[in-house]
Structure 1
Amino acid sequence: MTVADVIDWTINLPWQKAFSWFAVAVVASQLRDFFGITMGTFIVSFVGNGFVQSAQDWLPLRRFSPQTRRRLLVCAYYTAIVSLFTLFGVLIIPDVVREGADFVSRLQTENLWVVVLEKMRKGLGDGVMDSLERFLLIASSDDVTQAIDFAALDRIAGGAQRTQYLGMALQNVLRQYTNAAASVVSDLLSFTTKFAIQVGISLILSFMVVWDLPGIQRGVESLRTSRVAPIYNTVAPSLEVFATLFGKALQAQARIAMVNTILTALGMWALQIPGVGLLSLFVFICGFIPIAGVIISTVPIGFVALTEYGFTKLALVILMITGVHFIEAYGLNPAIYSAHLKLHPLLVLTVLVVAEHSLGVWGLLLAVPLTVFTLDYVLRYPEYSVTGVASKELENVIASTDLPHDEDEA
């Protein structure tokens, strides 16, 4: 390749498109502190507008003008949303906060690991526990090169003294993880007030958006002939299609998370697991995290089952959660558009870690859709533009989510 070829290649690069996307990325980076409110507004507005459009032709409303119909439906939608959040705040949040405080205190108590060891000895037997006890002494030692006095452990007869001794060793090994878990739960509880404020702001903004969406659309489309027309014409089509794609996928994922939470809550109620409210909230939140969410939400449920009842209840919890996720995987997951491109679990976990570090909790929601979109653009549809790739994936989402409905009609 000659110097002239390099110069021609450089000149022919789509600098205008690159600058347009760079400008949007800079603005988004500056507004990252408002990302939670933006996402909340988008989600509520997307669902609300879908409800309004689907109910426009409802027979009792046909006597009204289109504008009046829209505003009646918007009022009905937001009345239901506000009532639901109020009911949730009055009836559920106090129990969740109480259960969360109890869970944190249970994690931080020294007697917790004594109870765990007692349950493990009953479930695993003396032979396995003797080997595990020696491993705990090695893991809890500050210097494993020093001789560990196993004879001193053997001289301690079985009973409370031996269990207390080993409980302290287990606490030393897992102190970092239990403190981290307690910190996460505490942060989740303290986030309740901030979350309530963000929800309130998102509801107000989304109400204004859905109330006058046609007028807002006309105002945004006027940017086509404004001074920022080059940026708008480059970015807007792709963002519009991707926003629709993400909204459809999020709707499907929300339905799956809700069904998953209800089934898991019923299972915990049947097994008499305490703290169903807090654990169910945790399951619902983790339901939006692919692959890792299953593991994360199972750990506290299994922990409570083990400490309260023992290995038998823990085994029943694992069987219950396996059954729930079997239903999810084979009955509900076809509605998730990312299932069309089988992502390797290692890739999913990697992008989740990177997204959480970069964007926080909301990054966990965006990680898989952005990864699927990027892989489609690079590998699956290399001949399509960015907008074309988003359109193809949107067709997949609509086809999969409408499939049961189409079969019923057939």
Structure 2
Amino acid sequence: MSGLNQLGRIGIAAEHVIIALFLSMVFNLTYNHLREFGHAILKSKYDIMFGNVYYLLRKYVVILGTVIETQLVICIINTGLMVIGLWIIGVPKLLLMAIIVFVLGLVPVAGVLISLTPLSIVAFSANGIISIAEVLCLVILIHFFGSYFLHPRLMAGATDLPVFVTFITLIIGAKMLGTWGLIVGIPTVAFFIDLLGIQLKQHHPRNPKEVIESEIE
């Protein structure tokens, strides 16, 4: 029964991926029509309401995109450090290990734990139990470096939040929402700070009307 449940979850995940790819294809093929449709909504009878909604959604998506881009940079750095460490230890098949570490590294926290299984198997087949212990120590070191130094520092730079605020946000987000808290916690805090008009950088804020007019042009 446990195995059937796992297969069901894999099937649901595969279904979501297929639907996402299909919708992405439809979105790209009909982008111009969708753009015209969106502009028509912004110029409708209730343009003020739709304009404010568009402004808020656009702001959140931009912040979320910045956070995801930063997460990719963190993942690339962690993968590079892991490959160097595996090379020093003497673990073979570095290209395959790099792909596994990079893909699983996109999943906060849980990805590190999941990657231990293939890394341990390859390390054991190469050099025995000693290599497993070395891989475990390497993963722990890189995980602590990424979680407590690299991740807060880069996220703070991407969102202009202080490192301490970023660190606290990650902890609270993980406690409240688990993995999703690590993904959406920082952009949510940055969004509300920007929404409240707290300027972390010296620049001139743009009102919703100016943003919408520039997008339409």
TM interval, shorter chain, is 0.5 to 0.7
- In the alignment, what sits opposite 1:329? 150
Shift of 1:220: 0.9
Find 2:184's aligned residue among 366, 376, 390: 366
- The answer to whether the 8 A contact 1:246-1:369 is kept is yes
Q: Structure 1's 191 and 273: CA in aligned 2 closer, same or farther, altered over 3 A?
A: farther
Asked if residue 241 in structure 1 is aligned to residue 63 in structure 2, the reply is no
Shift of 1:349: 0.7
Shift of 1:222: 0.6
Amino acid in structure 1 at the alignment position of 2:106: F
- The answer to whether the 8 A contact 1:249-1:337 is kept is yes
- In the alignment, what sits opposite 1:207? 25
What secondary structure does 1:198 align onto? helix
Structure whose alpha-carbon radius of gyration is higher: 1
- In the alignment, what sits opposite 2:112? 297
Shift of 1:370: 0.5
**Mapped partners of 1:213, 1:370: distance in 2:** 27
Instruction: For residues 99-133 of structure 1, give each alpha carbon's deviation from its aligned partner in whole angstroms, at most 9, with x where no partner exists.
Output: xxxxxxxxxxxxxxxxxxxxxxxxxxxxxxxxxxx
- In the alignment, what sits opposite 2:106? 284
Instruction: For residues 239-289 of structure 1, give each alpha carbon's deviation from its aligned partner in whole angstroms, at most 9, with x where no partner exists.
Output: 123322322332232233234234424533653399947665433312xxx
**Mapped partners of 2:88, 2:16: distance in 1:** 35
Shift of 1:192: 3.6
Q: How does 1:367-386 map to 2 (within 5 A)?
A: 367-378=185-196, 380-381=198-199
**Mapped partners of 2:5, 2:84: distance in 1:** 27
What secondary structure does 1:380 align onto? coil
Q: Structure 1's 224 and 362: CA in aligned 2 closer, same or farther, altered over 3 A?
A: same
**Mapped partners of 1:365, 1:349: distance in 2:** 12
The percentage of aligned residue pairs carrying the same residue is 15
Q: How does 1:257-272 map to 2 (within 5 A)?
A: 257-268=75-86, 270-271=88-89, 272=91
Amino acid in structure 1 at the alignment position of 2:142: I
What secondary structure does 1:309 align onto? helix
Shift of 1:219: 0.6
Amino acid in structure 1 at the alignment position of 2:177: A
Amino acid in structure 2 at the alignment position of 1:297: V
- In the alignment, what sits opposite 1:255? 73
Q: How many residues align?
A: 191
- The answer to whether the 8 A contact 2:116-2:136 is kept is no
Q: Structure 1's 363 and 263: CA in aligned 2 closer, same or farther, altered over 3 A?
A: same
Asked if residue 345 in structure 1 is aligned to residue 167 in structure 2, the reply is yes
Q: How does 1:129-140 map to 2 (within 5 A)?
A: none
Amino acid in structure 2 at the alignment position of 1:348: L
- The answer to whether the 8 A contact 1:279-1:301 is kept is no
Shift of 1:318: 5.5
- The answer to whether the 8 A contact 1:301-1:317 is kept is no
- In the alignment, what sits opposite 1:355? 177
Give the TM-score normalised by the residue count of structure 2.
0.61
Alignment RMSD, CA only? Answer: 4.7
- In the alignment, what sits opposite 2:42? 224
- The answer to whether the 8 A contact 2:86-2:135 is kept is no
Q: Structure 1's 320 and 367: CA in aligned 2 closer, same or farther, altered over 3 A?
A: closer
Instruction: For residues 189-211 of structure 1, give each alpha carbon's deviation from its aligned partner in whole angstroms, at most 9, with x where no partner exists.
Output: 76443222222211221122223
- In the alignment, what sits opposite 1:55? none
- The answer to whether the 8 A contact 1:261-1:284 is kept is no
Q: Structure 1's 199 and 241: CA in aligned 2 closer, same or farther, altered over 3 A?
A: same
Q: Structure 1's 316 and 246: CA in aligned 2 closer, same or farther, altered over 3 A?
A: closer
Instruction: For residues 366-408 of structure 1, give each alpha carbon's deviation from its aligned partner in whole angstroms, at most 9, with x where no partner exists.
Output: 11110122234448339x98968xx9xxxxxxxxxxxxxxxxx
Q: Structure 1's 347 and 251: CA in aligned 2 closer, same or farther, altered over 3 A?
A: closer
